[in-house]
Amino acid sequence: MKNAACGRRLARPVRLTLASELGRDLDGAWWPFTASLASELPGLVDTLMRRLGAIIDISVNWSSLVGSPDLDVLISRAAKPLPGLKIRHQRVMVITGRDAGANLMVVPCMTASALAVMVLRQAAALPIAPHEVDSETFRTAETFVRAARVESVLQRLRTARAADVDSAIAESPTPT
């Protein structure tokens, strides 16, 4: 993969999937190589520019103070979290480009390869072989992708509510 700005080859390809049609609750997923998302963000932006146009805005549904969720916690459908273990919300990025936008699930970098690949495929609604649909990996990925879709909807609602509040404040008469 080449960096569009410099024309030089990137050290690692961007691990990203995008649905053929954008505009759903979840349009795909990004699986960074490290926990340092900021260092990998330029490569993601360069890659997304092809589909979305110039990137105008990126919003996220997490704080830098909150650790990344562990997708490998649920190894099987019957797995139960350890007592006191808090399952964190899935990380979702809303990326707005000049021509289109995309809602991406962020797959934690330490996720096992088989699970991460299944999450990438499901998040982008890519085809999955029939024999894989009955696997624990498929079911686990499905759980996390479903949670990411919910997070995406909640993020959109929070953004709309904030815009409504800003609009109401702007329209309210100023006291004299």
- For the segment 118-162, what is each residue's pLDDT rounded down to a tens digit? 999 999 999 999 999 999 999 999 999 999 999 899 888 887 777
Higher pLDDT, 86 or 141: 141
Asked if residue 164 is part of any domain, the answer here is yes
Q: Which residue has the higher pLDDT, 163 or 5?
A: 163
pTM (two decimals): 0.77
- Specify whether the CB–CB gap between 140 and 76 falls below 8 A: yes
Q: What is the tally of structural domains in the chain?
A: 1
Q: What ranges in the chain are assigned the alpha helix state H?
A: 37-52, 113-123, 130-133, 136-171
Residue 89 pLDDT class (50, 70, 90 cuts): confident
**Domain encompassing residue 112:** 16-61+87-168
Per-residue pLDDT tens over the stretch 57-74: 999 886 655 556 555 554
